[in-house]
Structures are given as C-alpha cells and as structure tokens.
Amino acid sequence: MFDDFLARAAIAGIGLTLATGPLGAFVVWRRMAYFGDATAHAAILGVALSFAFGTSVYLGTLGVALAMALTVARLSGRGHAMDTMLGVLAHSALAFGLLAASFQTGLRVDLSAWLFGDILAVSRTDLAIVWGGAAVVLALLAWRWQGLLTSTINDELAMASGINPKREQLVLTVALALTVAVSIKIVGALLIAALLIVPAASARQFARSPEVMAIGATGVGGASVLLGLWASLQFDTPAGPSIVSAATVIFVMSLGLRRR
C-alpha cells in the first residue's frame, strides 16, 4: 500500500536523524568529515562480504565499518599524514568493495541501492534495526557527553579533568560505525557522510551551545528527510539523493539568514 511504504520511509529517516544529528555535531566539531567518508565507503566492502558468506548485511557492514574506524583511529595517533591516509583508506575500501561486488551477480545488479540507498523499500524489520541502532548511539553519546565535549575542546584539558581522550575517541568510533551500518539501506554508503555533516553545519549557524546544536542538527535532518521524500514523490527522483539535496538547500538558506 502506497501510504504504508511512504510512512515507513519517513519513520526510518527520522529515526536515523536521531543518531546522525548529535553524532554529526561531533563530526563537525572535530573535523572528522573524511573519517566519516572512510567508514562509510568501507560499508560497501561489508555488504559484498555479507552476500558472499550469507550473513546479515547489517552485521557484515557493522564489522567492516568498525574495523575501518578503529584502523583510522589507531593511525591518527601515530603521526601519519591524516588527510592522505584517510584518502587512501576511503578510496581503497570503496574500490575493493566494488570489486568484490562485481563477482556476485545479484549484488552487482542491485549495487546502486547500497551506494545511494533505497529508503522507500525499508521493511518493518529494517525500522526496528534503525531505531534500535539510533537508540544505542544516543545512549552512548548521552553517557559520555561531557567527556566527549571536554576532549573535543582540548586533549590536555580532558586529561587534567581525569578524562581519557582515547576512550572518548573510541566511543565516537563505535557510534559512527553503528550509524553507518544501520543507514546503509536508507541513504547508502555515498550519502551517509553528507547526512552527518550538512544538517550539523546548518545548525551551527545559529547554535548558542553544544546541546542546542545537536538538537538543531536532528531537527534539520528530520526536515530534510520529509522534504526529500516529498520532492522524490513530486518529481520522481531518487529518495536518498533527494534527502541530501534538501539538506543542502536548508544549509544554503541558513547561510543567507546568518548573514542577515
């Protein structure tokens, strides 16, 4: 039924923004945009391996995304040129994932759905996974909120306050990998980083505190989902790119309002 699948798409998208809103705020504050790209691109390799071994796509994606995020986090503390290293890891993971997918006929045919998402095809099981994953991410961020904020401001300040910056980095790493895993079917591997960054960047224009920015990013993300689904319905465009495009339009508008 038409209304049923559209309602599921809206509920799934809004559930996802509950995680991407506050997590995206930390991605913007810590300048982790490329970190998110590397983790998201690795998700395609996770999808390919899941099909190859007949396991759950969500579990396979989570495992590979978590491995990539932990690898990047380890390398960041060893003096490597991070922009170059992240570029190598991000594009290599995507290339190996596409190569692995090319050997599997069923996955090769449906690869665009994993790259750009297929939010209109989410099932009730997918809804439960998305909302459950979002709840875990929110619980992690709420549990370590003050520690994450302090370590984001300054590592030395965090250590002086008895906070381990590496532990806070690990919390963000796990939260990011989990968000990528549950969002792969909704907006796809190539667009999840945009959904993390663009709403948070819009909310940053007007936020007076970290909490307001996190809530604002969630609100902008939810509005982007609804506007994107409406645009997809009206103009027969892909839903995932439409959602990110709606978020971009809101960002541009926020820049104009900020100048005024």
In a domain, 220, yes or no: no
| pLDDT in the model for residue 2 | 47
Question: Using 50, 70 and 90 to split pLDDT, how confident is the model at 214?
Answer: very high
**Per-residue pLDDT tens over the stretch 107-138:** 655 677 788 888 988 999 999 999 999 999 99
Q: What is the mean pLDDT of residues 88-101?
A: 84
Predicted confidence (pLDDT) at residue 32 exceeds the cutoff of 90? no
**Nearest of 169, 187, 140, 139 to residue 43 by alpha carbon:** 187
In a domain, 260, yes or no: no
**Cα angle 23-130-235, degrees, rounded to a multiple of 5:** 90
In a domain, 242, yes or no: no
Q: Over pLDDT 90: what percentage of the chain?
A: 40
- CATH code of 58's domain: 1.10.3470.10
The CA–CA distances, whole Å, from 188 to 71, 75, 171, 258 equal: 22, 26, 23, 31
Specify the amino acid at residue 145.
Answer: W
Domain of 154 in residue numbering reads as 2-189
In a domain, 68, yes or no: yes
- What span, in angstroms and rounded, lies between the C-alpha atoms of 215 and 90? 29
For 92, the token pair is 């290599």
Question: Using 50, 70 and 90 to split pLDDT, how confident is the model at 221?
Answer: very high
Question: Using 50, 70 and 90 to split pLDDT, how confident is the model at 51?
Answer: confident
Contact 214, 28 (CB under 8 A): no
**Nearest of 45, 29, 10, 84 to residue 180 by alpha carbon:** 45
- In sequence order, which residues have a C-beta less than 8 Å from that of residue 89 and are 6 or more positions away? 38, 42, 68, 71, 72
Contact 226, 10 (CB under 8 A): yes
The CA–CA distances, whole Å, from 155 to 70, 152, 178 equal: 19, 7, 25
In a domain, 225, yes or no: no
Q: What is the mean pLDDT of residues 48-70?
A: 86
In a domain, 25, yes or no: yes
In a domain, 121, yes or no: yes
| pLDDT in the model for residue 81 | 61
Predicted confidence (pLDDT) at residue 1 exceeds the cutoff of 70? no
- What span, in angstroms and rounded, lies between the C-alpha atoms of 103 and 98? 9
SS (H, E, C) 164-226: CHHHHHHHHHHHHHHHHHHHCCCCCCCCHHHHHHHHHHHHHCCCCCHHHHHHHHHHHHHHHHH
Contact 186, 12 (CB under 8 A): yes
Record the pTM. 0.89
Predicted confidence (pLDDT) at residue 73 exceeds the cutoff of 90? no
Q: Which H helix or E strand runs over 15?
A: helix 2-29
Predicted confidence (pLDDT) at residue 141 exceeds the cutoff of 90? yes
Q: What is the mean pLDDT of residues 227-241?
A: 92
| pLDDT in the model for residue 34 | 76
Domain count, the chain: 1
163-179: burial string, b at 16+ Cβ within 10 Å, e else? bebeebbebbbbbbbbb
**Per-residue pLDDT tens over the stretch 158-205:** 888 889 988 898 899 889 999 999 998 888 888 898 999 999 999 998
In a domain, 146, yes or no: yes
Specify the amino acid at residue 29.
Answer: W
Question: Using 50, 70 and 90 to split pLDDT, how confident is the model at 3?
Answer: low
